[in-house]
Structures are given as structure tokens and as C-alpha cells.
Amino acid sequence: MISLHNVSKYYPAGFGKTYVLRNISLDISEGEFVSIMGPSGSGKSTLLHILGMLEEPSEGEYLFFDQPVQKLSEKRRTELHRNYIGFVFQAYHLIDELTVYENIETPLLYKGMSSSERKSRVAELLDRFNMVAKKDLFPTQLSGGQQQLVGIARAVASQPKVIFADEPTGNLHSDQAKEIMDLFKKLNKEDGVTIVQVTHSEVNAEYGNRILRLKDGWLESFPVSLESK
């Protein structure tokens, strides 16, 4: 489903370049739950943004459902983004001026869904995420955990194939973090949504079926044994 071939990302620095990602090759299959780990500054967010088509690689090739992302028209890429990809952010990125209901409805408006379809889809999501009683509240009236529930409801509203989540529980207490991680697990297991998350937490990483580790922009291609002799 996702395939990176020798992808690098660099920024100009003086007369040279600063590499943030170096020669990353990577395949992710439909239905996987992948965790990206690594120290601060190792390139995790950049990798996630490239996968989520929020940033472009400097070098190499990205295939998404066999389509060469960098060669697609802006229109086609936006279309792919709207229909196949959901993004969840650490700081939620909800629109403070919109209610819970309206935040969840936003991607459906962009998708051009009819008003009756939107109504039933948002109602279904509010019900599933236990947010019916909160539908008319604004994000600032919710706890962090509740805001992230809205963030996830919004991300899954258009029934994406894959959700990219950048430290989705980074701002939450551990009980709320568990609720959010259980929800991702359920979306993965029951709905078959592919999940790719960045996390600092080994506990959260264990929810997935595979851990990718980055260091200084390099991807470790095999598990490193702590007991190397």
C-alpha cells in the first residue's frame, strides 16, 4: 500500500545540505499498525509528514497504492488525501470556532457529501465515540482526551484507508492515553484501518505489529539486540 524507495529529505544549509532523512526504503501493507520511534530530532515527524503527503521527499520515490505520489497532479493528490488519508495531531488541531459536531463534519464538507449523508455520518460517529452529549460544545470546553476523540472522529469521518498519528497521546494523562490507544487498536482490528503512529512510549508502540526506529535520519532495518556481545 505504502512504498518508499531511497527517500531522503534535506534542507539547504549554507553551501551544503542538512539531511533530516537518509535513504529510507520502507513498505507498509494494508491492515498494519506501525509505530515509528526514535530520539527527538531523528526525523520521525518528517517521515510521517512525507507518508501523509504533507511534505515532499527531496530524493527518492513514494508509491501510494502503486501511484507515484510526486508525479501526481496537485488535484489528484488532494483527492487521494481526502479519500484515503486521515491525520491525527498531538495538539489536536481542532478549529476552536467550530463545535464538536462541526469539527467532525468538516472533512465531509470538503468531500462534497450531501447534507443528509453528512448528518447520518456525523451522528454515527458521535454515537460511536460517546460524544453525543458534547456535540454542541467547543473544543476549549473539553478535556484533552475528549479533544483527541474529536480529532480521531474527524480523521475517520471520510473512512480513510490509513491514519497517520503524530504522538496522538503526547499531551494526555495515562488513563486517557490508554483510551485513545485502545480506540486506534479497535479501528485497526475491527475496521481494518491501517495505522502509522509516531510515539515516544514503548507501551503505546506495543499496540502495533511493527516498530520502526529512526536515528539521525537513518532507519534501523533490523531489531537491535540489547545483549550484543
Q: Which is nearer to ligand ADP, 73 or 140 (CB)?
A: 140
**Beta carbons of 170 and 177 less than 8 angstroms apart:** no
In the complex, the smallest distance separating the C-beta of residue 67 from ligand ADP, rounded to whole angstroms, is 24
CA–CA dist 173, 53 (Å, integer): 30
In the complex, the smallest distance separating the C-beta of residue 180 from ligand ADP, rounded to whole angstroms, is 10
Q: Which is nearer to ligand ADP, 40 or 115 (CB)?
A: 40
Q: Which is nearer to ligand ADP, 162 or 198 (CB)?
A: 198
Applying CB under 6 A, the residues found at the interface with ligand ADP are 11, 20, 38, 40-46, 140-141, 143-145, 172-173, 176
In the complex, the smallest distance separating the C-beta of residue 144 from ligand ADP, rounded to whole angstroms, is 3
In the complex, the smallest distance separating the C-beta of residue 115 from ligand ADP, rounded to whole angstroms, is 30
226 dihedral zone (left: phi>0; alpha: psi -120 to 50; beta): alpha
Backbone angles phi, psi at 100, to 5 degrees: -55, -50
In the complex, the smallest distance separating the C-beta of residue 109 from ligand ADP, rounded to whole angstroms, is 26
CA–CA dist 75, 97 (Å, integer): 28
**Beta carbons of 26 and 51 less than 8 angstroms apart:** no
Q: Which is nearer to ligand ADP, 76 or 173 (CB)?
A: 173
In the complex, the smallest distance separating the C-beta of residue 225 from ligand ADP, rounded to whole angstroms, is 23
Q: Which is nearer to ligand ADP, 120 or 143 (CB)?
A: 143
* Helices and strands: H and E segment counts in the chain: 7, 10
Q: Which is nearer to ligand ADP, 105 or 166 (CB)?
A: 166
Backbone angles phi, psi at 13, to 5 degrees: -145, 105
Cα dist. 17→9, 10, 12, 22, 45 in Å?
10, 6, 5, 12, 19
3-state secondary structure of 22: strand
